[in-house]
Amino acid sequence: MTKVEFSYPPHLIQKAQTLRHHRILVTGAHGFIGSHLLNLLSLAEVPCRGLSSGKNTSNVRLTEKAKEHLVLCDLDLHDSARPHFEGVTSVIHTATFGAYSWQNKSDEIFKQVTHLENLLSLAKDSQVQCFIHLGSSSEYGSHCDQAQEDQQPQCNSLYSLAKTQCHGLISYYGKQLKFPAVTLRLFSIYGPGEHPQRLIPQLCQSLIQGTPLKLSDPDTARDFVHIYDLLEIILHSLSSLKPLDYGEAYNICSGSQTTLGDLEKLLKEEFQFSQVQWETSLGKVWDLKRWSGSTKKTFQRFSWKPQLTLTEGLRLTVNFYKDNFHLLEPKRFLPKKKISIIAPCYMDRQSIPVLFERLRQVFLHLDYDFEFIVIDDLSPDGAYDAFKEYALKDPRWVLAKHTRNFGSQAIFLHGLELATGDAVILMDGDLQDPPEMIPEFIKHWEQGSQLCLGQRVSREEGLLFSLKCKMFYRLWNLFSRIEIPLDCGDFGLVSKEAVSQIIHHRARVKIWRSLRAYPSYKTVLVPYQRPCRAFGHSTNSNRKLLLWFIKFIFSTPNYIAITYAAFGLLGLVFSEGSLYFFALWGIVGLGLLVALLNLIYISYFNYPPFTTEELIKKQLLIRFPREDDVRH
């Protein structure tokens, strides 16, 4: 992937460095404004943390240094943000939905109101000292001509209504609850890293390539502010908020509007560009012919006004895109699909790190992200403590530990509940399932298969063990009412849709290989040779194989108990008085006993819950440095 480096003016970096005594939480860290904030704070070595769900855009705008401070957090999950407030002194809430024309789902637009209330509640409980919410000039609706902060809004879109409700929450928390929260009401913020389908990036692309620029209406107006000027007022607000600001809104605008006709004239005069084409069909329903804000309140309170003229800001932006033209490609902003890898760990302390490295090498050549879910099933080799080091350093690790040994099937089902990927791959942690097969699994999945299973056509574990395993699957298939894929262990890929159905399946006896076979998903078998364990020795034995066989049979809808009972009764009827009378009575007794156990087992057995001693994710382990560790 092409790396991107953003440069910032020295005065911005110096201003950020004065905030090193803060612990700053930035939401929406994948977005245009949130990524700039995280980039700048990381560069200035300010203790910070960026939250993003990663659902709407990729992390393409983040520098490598900023990515070290990024954690995935889905605000749709009410308690997901709670662990990240530990030690936080300031919050900058940039996350939003509905600002782009393609973000038009009403339920998603209004989720931001619930998200904000949850964050404000958490911030208040955590005694956060400053909460900055980024609002929008859309809150003024159709009354946006020299709009003043205290005027009555007149909403003209669902997004406008949602942002108005958000400021209502800020006002309530600030004025009624005396919580240090404020809204910065943004007008047309532009600059490097904006989404390619927005006006200024399209303008830059036309300037660089010399291609026509299509605009909607010469009279459509904007009030432009460069991202550097926005960053300056945000940093200033973090250190200067006072009780008189609590619950207030402040316009972030230039105070003068620029129409698209004015923009055409500027391009001709300053950039010698005259290839503007007018197409009214490109207009948006919320476009206005008068769109500007009043700077009076903001200037009186913070002595702030934009420093960069539109011409200067455009030159900076065009020069940036000349060096980072790939950021004008919309596909770069699409979030990558994620694959969840689940690996059980029992006596696999040596092999798990090797497995992760092999996975990392595989995904270097794939256009997918991955997470590595390792569940320690109370392994006696100290694997859990050893793996904490990896989980702390790499956000792709998810590490959990069971309170007792539940077995591999429980691990896989537990892993499915933890997985957040678009598809899930289950594999043993002992390196017997080659991760190099994953591209083949993904290819079949993208072609529509819901299950892609590795089929063991041969084994390196010896002829006798191979024969026992082949017999195992064929006997299981014989006694099962559903078709069980032959010679297929746990190794394979499952689609997200299938995972959701399997997790909520109401089977009493939850065996992964039975659950995946029961619904008859579209399945592809991918043959491979199964190698021996790379480290240590196998814990399988004849006794375990027999127990597996019994458990698997009872996990599948079958008639084995009825079959046993029927043969026992037939033997009793047709062989009365024979020398084998008592033996046959034994067969009958065995059949009836198995039938009874089968009915009891399936009717009343509940699989134990997946209790864990701890759940370690990087999200939960990020800690701000102690006061004496902070550099001044």
pLDDT digits (tens, 9 = 90+) for 112-166: 999 999 999 999 999 999 999 999 999 998 888 889 999 988 888 899 999 999 9
Give the lowest-confidence range in 122-131, 208-217, 600-609.
600-609
What confidence score (pLDDT) does residue 308 get? 96
- Banded model confidence at residue 46, pLDDT cuts 50, 70, 90: very high
More confident residue, 408 or 69: 69
- Give the confidence band of 610 by pLDDT, cuts at 50, 70, 90: very low
Residue count (the chain): 632
Indicate whether 163 and 275 sit together in one domain: yes
CATH number assigned to the domain comprising residue 414: 3.90.550.10
Co-location of 173 and 296 in the same domain: yes
Q: Could you tell me if residue 245 is inside a domain?
A: yes
What CATH number does the domain containing 184 carry? Answer: 3.40.50.720
pLDDT score of 330 more than 50: yes
Q: Tell me, what's the pLDDT at 606?
A: 41
Segment 476-481 shows an average pLDDT of 63
The whole-number pLDDT of residue 536 equals 60
* Rounded Cα distance, 583 and 568, in Å: 10
Q: Does residue 389 lie within any of the structural domains? A: yes
Taking phi over 0 as left and psi of -120 to 50 as alpha, with beta for the rest, 318 belongs to: alpha
User: Is residue 89's pLDDT more than 80?
Assistant: yes
Q: What is the mean pLDDT of the chain?
A: 82
Q: How many CB atoms lie within 10 A of CB 514?
A: 23
| Least trusted range by pLDDT, from 150-164, 406-420, 587-601 | 587-601
Identify the pLDDT of residue 583.
58
Give me the sign of the Cα torsion angle 577, 580, 582, 583.
negative
More confident residue, 179 or 476: 179
3-state secondary structure labels for all residues of 381-441:
CCHHHHHHHHHHHCCCEEEEEECCCCCHHHHHHHHHHHCCCCEEEECCCCCCCCHHHHHHH
Of 333, 352, 374, the one marking the end of a domain is 333
Please compute, for residue 349, the number of CA atoms within 13 A of its CA located in the half-sphere on the CB side: 12
- Cβ–Cβ < 8 Å for 298, 254: no
Is 17 within the bounds of a domain? yes
For every residue of 305-351, DSSP letters joined together read ---S-HHHHHHHHHHHHHH-GGGG-GGGGSPPPEEEEEEEESS-TTH
- What's the pLDDT band for 619 if we cut at 50, 70, 90? very low
For 171-185, what is the mean pLDDT? 97
Q: What is the pLDDT of residue 282?
A: 61
pLDDT at 541: 58
pLDDT at 47 (0 to 100):
95
Q: Exposed, middle or buried by CB within 10 Å (0-12, 13-18, 19+), for 22?
A: buried
* 616 has a pLDDT exceeding 50: no
Checking if the pLDDT of 50 tops 60, the result is yes
Predicted confidence band of residue 478 (pLDDT cuts 50, 70, 90) = low
Is residue 424 one of the residues assigned to a domain?
yes
Rounded to an integer, what distance in angstroms lies between the CA atom of residue 328 and that of residue 150? 38
* Six-digit token string for 497: 């849709």
Boundaries of domain holding 201 = 13-333
| Rounded average pLDDT over 379-406 | 82
Please tell me the predicted confidence (pLDDT) of residue 586.
56
pLDDT at 170 over 80: yes
- Residue 291 predicted with pLDDT over 80: yes
- The reply to whether 206 falls in a domain is yes
462 assigned to some structural domain: yes
How high is the pLDDT of residue 125? Answer: 95
Looking at the structure, tell me whether residues 287 and 407 fall in a common domain: no
Tokens of 60: 């393409």
Co-location of 132 and 259 in the same domain: yes
Output the pLDDT for position 289. 80
Into how many domains does the chain fold? 3
Q: Which pLDDT band holds residue 424 (cuts at 50, 70, 90)?
A: very high
The answer to whether position 631 is within a domain reads: no
Residue with tokens 């609002």: 135
Residues 300 and 168 in one domain: yes
Residues 468, 393 share a domain: yes
Residue 426 sits in the same domain as residue 500:
yes
Instruction: State pLDDT tens for residues 307-328.
Output: 999 999 999 999 999 999 999 9
Where does the pLDDT of residue 475 fall: very low under 50, low under 70, confident under 90, or very high at 90 and above?
low
Average of per-residue pLDDT across 220-224: 92
Between 165 and 471, residue with greater pLDDT:
165
Lowest-confidence region among 25-29, 83-87, 314-318, 407-411 = 407-411
- Collapsed DSSP state (helix, strand, coil) of residue 135: strand
Evaluate whether 78 touches 115 at the Cβ level (below 8 Å): no
Average pLDDT over residues 383-388: 86
Measured CA to CA, the distance from residue 347 to residue 537 in angstroms comes to: 9
One domain for residues 324 and 467: no
Same structural domain, 276 and 405: no
Helix, strand, coil share of the chain (percent; to 5):
45, 20, 40
Percentage of the chain lying above the pLDDT 90 cut = 46
Check whether residue 509 and residue 574 sit in a common domain. Answer: no
Of 276-280, 446-450, 539-543, the range with the lowest mean pLDDT is 539-543
**Distant-in-sequence, close-in-space partners of 74: CB < 8 Å, separation ≥ 6:** 53, 55, 80
607 pLDDT exceeds 80?
no
User: Residue 222 and residue 187: Cα distance in Å, rounded?
Assistant: 8
**Checking DSSP bridges between strand 258-259 and strand 221-222, what pairing results, if any?**
antiparallel
More confident residue, 506 or 622: 506
The stretch 368-388 carries a mean pLDDT of: 88
Total-model pTM:
0.70
- Domain assignment present for residue 1? The answer is no
* pLDDT tens digits along 232-268: 999 999 999 999 999 999 999 999 999 999 999 999 9
Q: What is the structure's pLDDT at 617?
A: 41
**pLDDT-wise least confident of 72-81, 231-240, 345-354, 447-456:** 72-81
pLDDT at site 228: 98
> Does 365 share its domain with 233?
no
72 and 152 fall within a common domain: yes
27-40 pLDDT, tens digit each: 999 999 999 999 99
